[in-house]
Amino acid sequence: MPEKVGCRMASWDDLMSFVRVRYEIMRQVDDGELWFNLPTGGERTQIVSVRQVTGEDGHPWVEITSPVGKDSELDLPRLLTEAGKAEAGGVISVDGVVLFRHSIPLDDTALDGFDRPFRLVVTVADRLEQELTGADQH
């Protein structure tokens, strides 16, 4: 039986090729990280990065992150409440910047299963940024 296009398990190179066709890459860091600046509606855009990481289980994962704002400028209890409304993902702080993050196992993920969590991270991070800062800096 022929394999459905986009439904086979992905490698990092497969995923990079997949996103290159669908999204304009803003920046590539080495071979393991891609950055995008995506429109989210109206005049708003949102930065999002995708990188390959090795999980604690020793397997490859894809980490999708998008900035919300500086942790020193955010109402952190409200941030946690609002981020908790998302069906997947969570917030972290890296170098003073709050990021909304979701990770998916690379070797268990079909290419056609990438877009949904990718768009989720972008949408939630942009919503959080707008609700908590009123700005569009990221």
Question: Model confidence over 35-46: pLDDT tens digits?
Answer: 999 999 889 999
pTM over the 0.85 mark: yes
Contact 25, 50 (CB under 8 A): no
Q: Which residues contact 120 (CB under 8 A, 6 or more apart)?
A: 86, 87, 88, 89, 102
- Residue 29: pLDDT above 80? yes
Percent of the chain with pLDDT over 90: 62
Supply 57's token pair.
């289980």
Check residue 32 and give its pLDDT.
82
Please say if the pLDDT value at position 104 is more than 50. yes
44 by Cβ neighbours in 10 Å (0-12 / 13-18 / 19+) ranks as: middle
Helix (H, G, I), strand (E, B) or coil at 69: strand
- Spatial contact of 50 and 33, defined as CB atoms under 8 Å apart: yes
pLDDT over 80 (residue 107)? no
| Chain segment 1-24, per-residue pLDDT in tens | 334 444 556 788 888 888 888 898
3-class state of residue 123 by DSSP: helix
For the chain, the domains span 12-133
Q: Does domain 12-133 have CATH number 3.30.1460.10?
A: yes
